[in-house]
Amino acid sequence: MTMETTTLLIIGGGPGGYVAAIRAGQLGIKTVLVEGGQLGGTCLNVGCIPSKALIHAAEEFHKATHYAGEGGAESALGIRTAAPSIDITRTVAWKEGIVKRLTGGVGALLKKNGVQVVRGWARILDGKTVEVTGAEGGGTGAANDAGGQTTRIRCEHLLLATGSEAVELPFLPFGGNVVSATEALSPETLPGHLVVVGAGYIGLELGTAYRKLGARVTVVEAAGRVLPAYDDELARPVAARLRALGVDLHLESSVLGLSEDGKSVRMKNGGGEEVAIDADRVLVAVGRRPRTSGFGLESLMLDMNGRAVRIDNQCRTSMRNVWAIGDLTGEPMLAHRAMAQGEMVAEIIAGKRRHFMPAAIPAVCFTDPEVVVVGLTPQDAAKQGLDCISASFPYAANGRAMTIEGTEGFVRVVARKDNHLIVGWQAVGSAVAELSTAFVQSIELGAQLEDIGGTIHAHPTLGEAVQEAALRALGHALHI
């Protein structure tokens, strides 16, 4: 057994852990990062990046299919093309190439900043000691392969960044044709019929992609509508588009399990009837839960918040010098939140005064159309007793939206009635993900409606809908 000591020991090299390590390295803190899987964590390997790559490939294929089919003859754009085909192996290889470039980049950044990467699974012995055993394969960048032997590392600060895992349904366990997002992102073949259990953002992003790649898709959701965590006005265009694409939606329905021959999914539909739907593959996307077991975390007896590790607004746990960030600490489980927390913890350890108090954290669904929520919705504001005004500007009145055939959707602003301080933005439509930057900056900088209404926005852009929503809330939108 080898022994090492360090100032900061990070368990988990996802966006939370690797960003903390890079910042700590920049600040001259002696840092060891332990990663049992791949650098980049869920986000780069089996989450944000690969899903967006697959969504893009599916969209391109779908466009080509549309122009080749009846859509070609009727296409207002006058484009017609021959029937396309797709080699899914090459698509997956292209996606893997992006993942490799990004994870390799993370390894290089860690090396450049003097972070020691230890490859292997960490086991917590106490709040200052961790044991790492057995690494799988070679590391990236400055990796130290623990290669079967055990390394014991003592630290002054322990940062937990072990992320989350897909929730498994006991009556529909993963294996065979029942897959999680991880397997769905690397298909060897396309299924004839994919049943997606769960109409949250992960299920819908992947379900839409598979549909556009040519699979028949059925979505089963226990709630009465898709994207149940989002407000109805935002979810409605997404549901309409799913139906237009030919996705079968079974709402208020619960899955009971697989049939005996494994070829169909049994479920109870909205009317209470038990029915079976044939399925070549079943994607279970019913949520993620913090990864808190299997590595000795329990032995620390930390205060918990349900299944998540409880933290304060500096990401301190209930034990001195034990910190936690990212999905391990619960909702919102988003990569950019994990990164922001990681950067902050490194700075606090370096002696800077920091607190995690963002004015807002954007959430984006890369569905079709995309959905963005930043800050408070009108309903949230009402619940908090804030007297607010809100106004929407439809994409149908935006020139740029017309030129990209994306007139479905709107941008909505929520602001305090008394001083016009903007407290929230919501949008649904083409490319609204890219508007999230403008939304979150306006809230973080404390903008009022007049600031956004009075800013010259480039023409013709979708961003003009942002300015017009602010003007509309002030009662004088120009283009509607």
The residues that touch ligand FAD, with contacts defined as CB under 6 A, are 11-17, 34-37, 41-43, 47-48, 51, 121-122, 161-164, 181, 202, 291, 295, 326-328, 333-336, 338, 366
Residues in the chain, how many? Answer: 480
| Smallest distance, ligand FAD to C-beta of residue 378, A | 24
**Helix, strand, or coil (residue 25):** helix
CB of 160 to ligand FAD, least distance (A): 9
Confirm if 462 and 409 have CB atoms less than 8 A apart: no
Nearest to 291 by CA among 323, 328, 326: 328
Residue 291, phi then psi, degrees to nearest 5 = -90, 95
136 or 280: CB nearest ligand FAD: 136
DSSP per-residue string spanning 149-165: S-EEEEEEEEEE---EE
* 123 residue type, one letter: R
In the residue annotation, 459 being an active-site residue is answered as yes
* Residue 361 or 396 with smaller CB distance to ligand FAD: 361
3-class DSSP state of 414: strand
Distances (CA, A) of 477 to 327, 373, 397, 474: 40, 22, 11, 8
The alpha carbon of residue 105 and the mean position of all alpha carbons in its chain are separated, in whole angstroms, by 20
Shortest Cβ 478–ligand FAD spacing (Å): 34
**Least distance from ligand FAD to the Cβ atom of residue 402, Å:** 28
- Shortest separation between residue 401's beta carbon and ligand FAD, angstroms: 23
3-state secondary structure of 438: helix
Pick between residue 139 and residue 453 the one whose CB is nearest to ligand FAD: 139
- Alpha-carbon span 90 to 479, nearest angstrom: 45
Residue 262 Ramachandran class (φ > 0 left, ψ -120 to 50 alpha, else beta): left
**Which of 250, 459, 476, 479 is labelled catalytic?**
459
> What residues are annotated to the active site?
459
